[in-house]
Amino acid sequence: MSSSEEDDDDDDLTRAILMSTEPRGKSTEMSRETTNFKRNSSDVVELKQIAADNSCLFNSIGFCMDGRTDAGMEYRNIVAIVIAKNKDGLWTEAVLGKPPHIYVRWIRDPKKWGGEIEMVVLSKHLEVEIAAFSVQTCRMTLYGKGFKKRIYLLYSGIHYDAVMKSSEKGGREGGVFASDDVLVLSAVEDLVQDMHKKHKFVNLAGFKLQCMVCRKELRGQKDAALHAKETGHAQFGEISSTRRE
């Protein structure tokens, strides 16, 4: 195996490790709380948490579009086909970071993460704006601007979740909104601000981790990747910066 292939494997391992990260010391049930922000009697948004299975971006989009959380491979294949055909000439090696035929094979691997390239492709294919909020910075990046419909995704730094709407009775109505609905946008902004205040994001610059298998403390994603490679452990939790040493 060449050194470049080894580096690529290390990067992939790092991404997989980061995807498994969850708030330390909290149970699964507690981490799956639902937050409602009511603007009027007919306008409520809430967070829909998506499984951390390396396809959270695709499954978040799938949930918003038609309530599915198993659309990962379907959307991966759509991206692969668009890039392989490259009808608009956009998807070059310079843009993709690797030769197109390699990228096509790469994105079809369920262990690989999706990101900006996939949101650009899927927004155009689905004819929907994809508004991705960073919980850390509270900033929104809009993909596919100009479509009449919009979905909202929340990015924690390592994971994507979906925003959905629900009625007063709790009946869930999906996650597709009108792109010009300012009440929904304001409600989503409130949701993001609340999550930010609760520190529901991971700062990749220098965060501390603990292996949830052997409880070893680690510093940063490189240490975590090395630990996983040496031990096979792949479940990590973030250690709060306020925790006493």
Q: What is the set of active-site residues?
A: 53, 56, 159, 233
Q: How far, in Å, CA of 11 to CA of 25, rounded?
A: 27
Instruction: Show Cβ contacts of residue 196 under 8 Å, excluding neighbours closer than 6 positions.
Output: 135, 136, 138
Dist CA 245 CA 243 (whole Å): 6
Q: Are 178 and 149 contacting, i.e. CB atoms less than 8 angstroms apart? A: yes
3-state secondary structure of 25: coil
Maximal C-alpha separation, the chain? 60
DSSP-derived pairing of the beta strands 149-155 and 129-134: parallel
CA–CA distance from 115 to each of 56, 79, 121 (Å)? Answer: 10, 11, 10
Nearest-10 crossing angle of helices 72-85, 116-126: 90
